[in-house]
Amino acid sequence: MLDLPRSARLAAWGTGVLSANASLESAVAAVVRDDEPHTVSFAESAPTLPGLPGAGGTPDDMTTLLAALAECAHAAPGGGRLLLALPVPGDPRGLPGPAAVNVTALEVGECVVAELGGHDTRWALVPEVTEFGSVWEPGALVTWTVLGAAPRRAPESSSVAESERELRVALATATQALATLDVARWREDAADRIAAVRDGGLARDAVPADTSPRAMRVLQTAARVLAIVDLATEDDGAAITSLEATSRAQALREVAGVARRALVAAVNAHTEPARP
């Protein structure tokens, strides 16, 4: 089974709630899943929202946060949406600013930016995840810190159509790298994981049902590429020289970047016309 990061699910489902195309209950269930109930804490820099305690208040939960954002969006002339960013060192695109927010988001590699139509005020939602338990009974504590984000700049993500074209090449490169590594021969656990990545579909609740077919294809391919990269970078497999290992690592970093950008484009494609 392929899946998306929590921030991607929050951006996709949260926008559905803000646009009244998804129910609050379905969105919270899709974001939280088997985690402990997500908590929300406001930083000192965060503008206040009606229905939330604001900085210094008692942390709230995901239901309260999305309900408050939806109430504000429904009252705003242009509605509202949640945008995804998946920044990594060397590729900070999508970070909302200011610098303190960017540093926090870059440390965890994901964040969501909440925008309301007709307002310059924006919020950055950054998750802090603490995992516990075992591989048989995993658990996670998740706290979303809400920070004040800078006013919107020009969009930086690619279109879904452009991302789909780039992903075809990225998938071929990543698959070839995995085949060259032959990790199934090196580790007993790898064969089942490779089969799950190769044959698995995107989790049914990863995004709302009204997501366009093209965006769904891009999301599934991007998730598959990232899963392959995770497998292929766990060890050097059949690499026999440090030069080969370095070259493979560089290629995998590049295809992972393509997949991250494609995932962001597909999740953030709320304003693109629906296409098959």
Q: How far apart are CA 201 and CA 65, in angstroms?
A: 30
For residue 208, pLDDT beyond 90: yes
User: Is residue 194 a contact partner of residue 179, using CB atoms and an 8 Å limit?
Assistant: no
What is the count of structural domains for the chain? 2
Report CA-CA distances (Å) from 90 to 34, 86, 209, 223, 269: 33, 12, 34, 21, 24
Task: Give a yes or no: residue 174 inside a domain.
Answer: yes
Q: Cα(195)–Cα(197) distance, rounded to whole angstroms?
A: 5
65 and 26 within one domain: yes
Continuous H helices in the chain: 6-18, 24-32, 62-75, 99-108, 160-181, 183-186, 190-199, 213-232, 242-267
Mean pLDDT, rounded, for 241-261: 81
* Apex 199 CA angle, 196 and 202, nearest 5: 85
User: Sorting pLDDT into bands at 50, 70 and 90, what band is 271?
Assistant: very low
Is the model's pLDDT at 276 over the cut of 50?
no
pLDDT digits (tens, 9 = 90+) for 131-167: 998 878 889 999 999 999 998 776 555 688 888 888 8
User: Whose CA is closest to 125, among 36, 257, 264, 14?
Assistant: 14
- Min mean pLDDT across 7-11, 97-101, 185-189, 250-254 is at 185-189
Averaged pLDDT, 71-76: 86
| Higher per-residue confidence, 165 vs 242 | 165
In this structure, the answer to whether residues 229 and 116 fall within a common structural domain is: no
Q: What is the C-alpha to C-alpha distance for residues 204 and 194, in angstroms, rounded to an integer?
A: 20
- The share of the chain scoring above pLDDT 90, in percent, equals 48
Domain termination site, one of 97, 117, 149: 149
| Through-space distance between the first and last CA atoms of the chain, rounded to whole angstroms | 24
Tell me the average pLDDT of the chain. Answer: 84
Same domain assignment for residues 108 and 35 = yes
26-34 long-range CB contacts below 8 Å, 24 or more apart?
26/205, 26/208, 27/66, 28/62, 28/63, 28/66, 29/205, 30/205, 30/206, 31/6, 31/62, 32/62, 32/142, 33/205, 34/138, 34/139, 34/140
Q: What is the pLDDT of residue 142?
A: 97
Whole domain around residue 105: which residue ranges?
Answer: 6-149
Report, in angstroms and rounded to the nearest whole number, the Rg of the chain calculated over CA atoms. 19
Least confident range of 46-50, 211-215, 219-223:
46-50
Residues 120 and 72 in one domain: yes
Domain end point (choices 127, 149, 171): 149
Q: Are 141 and 199 in contact (CB under 8 A)?
A: no
Instruction: For residues 79 and 170, state if they share a domain.
Output: no
Q: Give me the mean pLDDT over the 233-251 stretch.
A: 69
Contact in structure between 5 and 110 (CB atoms under 8 Å): yes
Query: Rounded to whole angstroms, how far apart are CA atoms 179 and 100?
Result: 41
Are residues 246 and 145 part of one domain? no
Q: What angle do CA 99, 122, 22 make, to 5 degrees?
A: 130
pTM of the model: 0.88
Give 188 or 121, the one with higher predicted confidence.
Answer: 121
Asked if residue 65 is part of any domain, the answer here is yes
Give the residue from 103, 126, 149 where a domain finishes: 149
Instruction: Give pLDDT, residue 274.
Output: 43
In a domain, 213, yes or no: yes
Please give the average per-residue pLDDT across 4-33, as a whole number. Answer: 96
Statement to judge: residues 137 and 173 lie in one domain: no
Residue 41 CA, chain-centre distance (Å), reads 20
Q: Which of 38-42, 97-101, 111-115, 194-198 has the lowest mean pLDDT?
A: 194-198
pLDDT, tens digit (0-9, with 9 covering 90-100), for 34-45: 999 999 998 887
Top pLDDT among 55 and 66 is at 66
Residue 101 has pLDDT above 50, yes or no: yes
